[in-house]
């Protein structure tokens, strides 16, 4: 059984989904209280509070094992991007021997948004895409990058 929880971020509610051992298996940058009835574990509330207050820069959380080998390779490259920095889809593609569109597709499948910081992956010029956050995804990506000190 999965346990969805809600966290009130500065840009709106975040949904975190845990398994029965309280392992984080998904983080979505949107949510509704009626879809997340369980209390958020204190350790994750503290981590998110620290991130949004600027005290925590990187979550240092393992990537998801749910994806393909290729997706996991992309997610690991994303997890290695330090706060306050960005890489382009092309940068990551070169790093792992792939194509920017394939990297973008894997970014869109990242189940641990924010924790594996796909918001730090941008286009050659501008923000690029972002599949987290429903209709306000690009506004959330922009907010997160500004919060981390990146001006795009």
* List 87, 118, 121, 145, catalytic entry: 118
Q: How many residues does this entry show for the chain?
A: 152
Q: What is the DSSP string of 20-68?
A: TT--EEEEES---GGG--BPPPHHHHHHHHHHHHTS------PPPSSS-
Cα distance between residue 87 and residue 72, in whole Å: 17
Burial of 52 (0-12, 13-18, 19+ CB in 10 A): middle
| Helix 89-96 / helix 100-108 crossing angle, nearest 10 deg | 100
Is residue 118 annotated as part of the catalytic site, yes or no?
Answer: yes
Residues with catalytic function: 118
């Amino acid at each position: 059984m999965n346990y969805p929880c809600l966290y009130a971020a500065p840009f709106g509610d975040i949904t975190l989904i845990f398994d029965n051992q309280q392992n984080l298996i998904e983080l979505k940058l949107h949510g509704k209280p009626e879809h997340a009835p369980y209390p958020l574990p204190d350790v994750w509330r503290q981590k998110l509070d620290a991130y949004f207050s600027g005290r925590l820069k990187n979550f240092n959380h393992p990537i998801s094992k749910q994806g393909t080998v290729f997706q996991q390779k992309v997610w690991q490259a994303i997890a290695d991007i330090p706060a306050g920095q960005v890489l382009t889809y092309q940068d990551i593609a070169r790093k792992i021997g792939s194509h920017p569109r394939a990297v973008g597709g894997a970014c869109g499948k990242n189940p641990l948004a924010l924790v594996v910081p796909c918001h730090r992956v941008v286009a050659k010029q501008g923000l690029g895409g972002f599949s987290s956050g429903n209709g306000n995804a690009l506004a959330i990506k922009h907010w997160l990058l500004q919060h981390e000190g990146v001006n795009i």
